[in-house]
């Protein structure tokens, strides 16, 4: 009889051992789960970022200490608020559109202003994840008020400097125009054509610089100038100053519509002033019609070529720019060197070409 009960007793022992292992595994899983929950809870509670959880009705259901400190509400008070109560800088329509977009994309991030319990306005950046657990969304919020206010101060400071620079450019332009007017008064009292011509040249040089400050004042851009538009206006002025009588001289300007720095444009303006004014004065003594072309182009990276060409009479003899007495050519050569460049003049009976090779820093 005893032998018949052994298998049954063994079966009981096996079942009990299996149940024991299951209990041990369940307890181990519960311990691991509890440990994991404690870790995440610790991260949640001790995070320096405000962390809030809200449900499908956009009602807050959980908030950490950082969120309470940021918003000024107690935990109980936050769990009786909706998201739009905090992010109240958006209109109802804007909020609904943003919320629907958030649900569709599954996430959202950006900057916004919020209102605390005390009514203070704060700027925050936020990052939200939709359905991080079933039926609930997560938001992480950081206070960036100090950064935003600092940026606003920088913007205000830049605006003040911009206004100051505009005023400086305006005054420089006016001062140059005043000098030009004084020269003009002096010219009216002169009968000497040579002196008259010298003062006209001085006026055109002043005008080339005055135009730069005029452009800066008009555009509000103090870092760069639209080179093509500037040169077009400069050439128009030179035409009025030097071209008289019945001569019909066409000007063709081929320049990329790019912005260049003030220093570079100043040198280019003075160079073009010298060469073009010289063409207007001397190149077409035997002709009533002709063409002056100005071409500025990039040859290689940071390497440029300015070509000023006329189809006038040309120079009678071969030119050595290092031994020529013409002040205009000497000044042009000096300006080219200021650009780390080189002036080359080619002249024949069919006209004169001035080539300025230079490097744009």
Question: What pTM did the predictor assign?
Answer: 0.56
211 and 262 share one domain: no
Length of the chain: 361
Residue 6 is assigned to a structural domain of this protein:
no
261 and 289 share one domain: yes
Q: How far apart are CA 299 and CA 305, in angstroms?
A: 7
260 and 217 share one domain: no
Residue 236 is assigned to a structural domain of this protein:
no
138 and 179 share one domain: no
CA angle centred on 336, ends 323 and 221, rounded to 5°:
155
192 and 134 share one domain: no
Q: How far apart are CA 121 and CA 113, in angstroms?
A: 7
Q: How many C-beta neighbours within 10 Å does residue 39 have?
A: 10
Q: What radius of gyration, in Å, describes the C-alpha atoms of the chain?
A: 40
Number of domains in the chain: 3
251 and 333 share one domain: yes
Residue 257 is assigned to a structural domain of this protein:
yes
Yes or no: say if 51 and 44 are a contact pair by the CB < 8 Å rule: yes
324 and 247 share one domain: yes
Residue 231 is assigned to a structural domain of this protein:
no
Paired strand residues for 335 = none
Distance of CA 15 to the CA centre of its chain: 76
DSSP code of residue 321: G
Q: How many CA atoms lie within 13 A of 204 on its CB side?
A: 31
253 and 336 share one domain: yes
194 and 263 share one domain: no
- pLDDT of 26: 67
Residue 302 is assigned to a structural domain of this protein:
yes
Query: Last residue of a domain, which of 85, 115, 143?
Result: 143
Q: How far apart are CA 20 and CA 60, in angstroms?
A: 42
Yes or no: say if 275 and 354 are a contact pair by the CB < 8 Å rule: yes
**Can you give the residue range of the structural domain that contains 89?**
47-143
Which segments within the chain are labelled E, that is strand? 50-55, 60-63, 107-115, 121-133, 136-143, 224-226, 248-255, 259-261, 289-300, 303-310, 342-348, 351-359
Backbone angles phi, psi at 78, to 5 degrees: -65, -40
Give every CB contact of residue 154 below 8 A, 6+ residues apart in sequence.
Answer: none
361 and 262 share one domain: yes
Residue 70 is assigned to a structural domain of this protein:
yes
- In our burial notation (b when 16+ CB lie closer than 10 A, e otherwise), range 51-73 reads bbbbeeebebebbbebbbebbeb
283 and 356 share one domain: yes
Backbone angles phi, psi at 19, to 5 degrees: -65, -40
Q: How many C-beta neighbours within 10 Å does residue 318 have?
A: 9
Residue 13 is assigned to a structural domain of this protein:
no
Average pLDDT value over all residues in the chain: 84
Yes or no: say if 228 and 210 are a contact pair by the CB < 8 Å rule: no
137 and 172 share one domain: no
Give every CB contact of residue 295 below 8 A, 6+ residues apart in sequence.
Answer: 254, 255, 305, 306, 307, 308, 309
The per-residue pLDDT string of the chain (361 residues; one tens digit each, 9 = 90 and over) reads 445 555 667 777 776 767 667 666 666 666 565 565 667 777 888 889 999 999 999 999 999 999 999 999 999 999 999 999 998 888 889 988 999 999 999 999 999 999 899 989 999 999 999 998 899 999 999 999 999 888 888 888 877 777 777 777 777 777 777 887 888 777 777 777 788 788 888 888 888 888 877 877 777 776 788 888 889 988 998 888 888 778 889 999 998 877 888 888 888 988 998 899 889 888 888 888 999 999 999 888 888 999 999 998 887 666 666 656 677 788 888 889 988 899 998 888 889 999 999 987 7
Paired strand residues for 290 = 249
Yes or no: say if 81 and 55 are a contact pair by the CB < 8 Å rule: no
Query: Last residue of a domain, which of 143, 170, 187?
Result: 143
The DSSP-derived string for 1-58 is -GGGGHHHHHHHHHHHHHHHHHHHHHHHHHHHHHHHHHHHHHHHHH-SSEEEEEETTS
Query: Last residue of a domain, which of 110, 143, 176?
Result: 143
Yes or no: say if 302 and 361 are a contact pair by the CB < 8 Å rule: yes
CATH code of the domain in which 292 resides: 3.30.565.10
Residue 232 is assigned to a structural domain of this protein:
no
């Amino acid at each position: 009889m005893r032998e018949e009960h052994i298998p049954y007793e063994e079966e009981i022992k096996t079942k009990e051992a299996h149940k024991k292992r299951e209990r041990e595994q369940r307890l181990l899983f519960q311990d691991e789960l509890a440990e994991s929950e404690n870790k995440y809870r610790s991260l949640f509670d001790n995070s320096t970022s405000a962390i809030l959880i809200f449900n499908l009705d956009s009602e807050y259901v959980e908030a950490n200490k950082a969120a309470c400190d940021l918003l000024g509400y107690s935990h109980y008070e936050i769990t009786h608020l909706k998201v739009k109560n905090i992010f109240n800088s958006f209109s109802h329509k804007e909020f609904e559109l943003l919320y629907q977009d958030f649900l569709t994309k599954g996430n959202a991030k950006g900057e916004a202003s919020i209102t605390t319990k005390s009514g203070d306005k704060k700027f925050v950046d936020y990052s939200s994840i939709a359905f991080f657990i079933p039926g609930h969304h997560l938001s992480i919020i950081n206070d960036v008020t100090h950064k935003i206010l600092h940026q606003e101060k920088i913007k205000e400071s830049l605006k003040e400097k911009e206004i100051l620079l505009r005023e400086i450019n305006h005054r420089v332009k006016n001062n140059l125009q005043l000098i030009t007017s004084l020269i003009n008064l002096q010219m009216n009292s002169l009968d000497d054509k040579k002196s008259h011509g010298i003062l006209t040249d001085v006026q055109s040089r002043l005008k080339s610089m005055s135009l730069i400050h005029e452009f800066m004042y008009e555009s509000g851009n103090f870092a760069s100038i639209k080179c093509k538009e500037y040169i077009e206006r400069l050439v128009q002025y030179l035409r009025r100053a030097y071209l008289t009588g019945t001569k019909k001289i066409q000007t063709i300007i081929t320049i990329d519509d790019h912005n260049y720095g003030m220093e570079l444009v100043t040198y280019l303006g003075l160079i073009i002033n010298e060469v073009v004014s010289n063409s207007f004065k001397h190149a077409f003594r035997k002709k009533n019609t002709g063409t002056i072309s100005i071409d500025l182009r990039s040859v290689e990276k940071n390497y440029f070529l300015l070509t000023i060409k006329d189809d006038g009479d040309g120079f009678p003899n071969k030119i050595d720019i290092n031994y020529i007495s013409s002040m205009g050519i000497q000044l042009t050569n000096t300006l080219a060197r200021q650009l780390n460049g080189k002036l080359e003049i080619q002249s024949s009976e069919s006209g004169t070409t001035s080539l300025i090779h230079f490097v744009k820093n």
